[in-house]
Amino acid sequence: MKNLFRHKRTICTVLLTVLLMLCIGMPALAAEGPEAAQAAADNSIGTKAIAAAIAVGLAAAGGAIAMGLAVAKSAESISRQPEADGKIRTALMLGLVFIETAIIYALLVVILIIFVL
């Protein structure tokens, strides 16, 4: 259990470091002068792309982890109680649908970020 916590802490530290590096690097791309408007538009497109990539990546990674854990636990439950396999599969499918719905909502938000903002 301690080893699992240590890995979670390491992953969170790496993700926060990457996010901080992305946030700190943005002011270095600022432009001054007459071409500032064009550079700002280009920078806006790049920022949207980075935000979309991070959002979809986190949603897909989180969904994949959740689905993997759900399937593993359901297989474990079915192996312990084979007579309850129908109820376990029903609950598993319902849970997988909810997880997939959350991923699709993240995709819709990303599409809105790209095309509307």
The predicted structure's pLDDT at residue 89: 94
**Domain contains 9:** no
**Domain contains 30:** no
Q: What DSSP line would sit under 6-67, residue for residue?
A: HHHHHHHHHHHHHHHHHHHHGGGG---STTHHHHHHHHHHHHHHHHHHHHHHHHHHHHHHHH
The predicted structure's pLDDT at residue 27: 63
- Mean pLDDT over each residue of the chain, to the nearest integer: 82
**Domain contains 11:** no
**Domain contains 82:** yes
Angle in degrees, CA 3, 88, 57, rounded to 5? 50
Residue 52: pLDDT band (50, 70, 90) is: confident
Find the domain containing 101 and state its range.
51-117
What total number of domains does the chain contain?
1
Q: For residues 64, 65, 71 and 72, what is the CA-based torsion angle, rounded to 10 degrees?
A: 150
The pLDDT of residue 1 is above 70: no
| In the block, residue with structure tokens 């408007």 | 37
**Domain contains 63:** yes
Residue 88 belongs to a domain with what CATH number?
Answer: 1.20.20.10
The pLDDT of residue 13 is above 70: yes
Closest to 109 (Cα-Cα) out of 42, 66, 54, 45: 54
Interval 64-86: pLDDT, tens: 999 999 999 999 999 999 999 99
**Domain contains 59:** yes
The mean pLDDT value for 55-59 works out to 91
Q: What is the pTM of this model?
A: 0.61
The pLDDT of residue 23 is above 80: no
| In the block, residue with structure tokens 């259990």 | 1
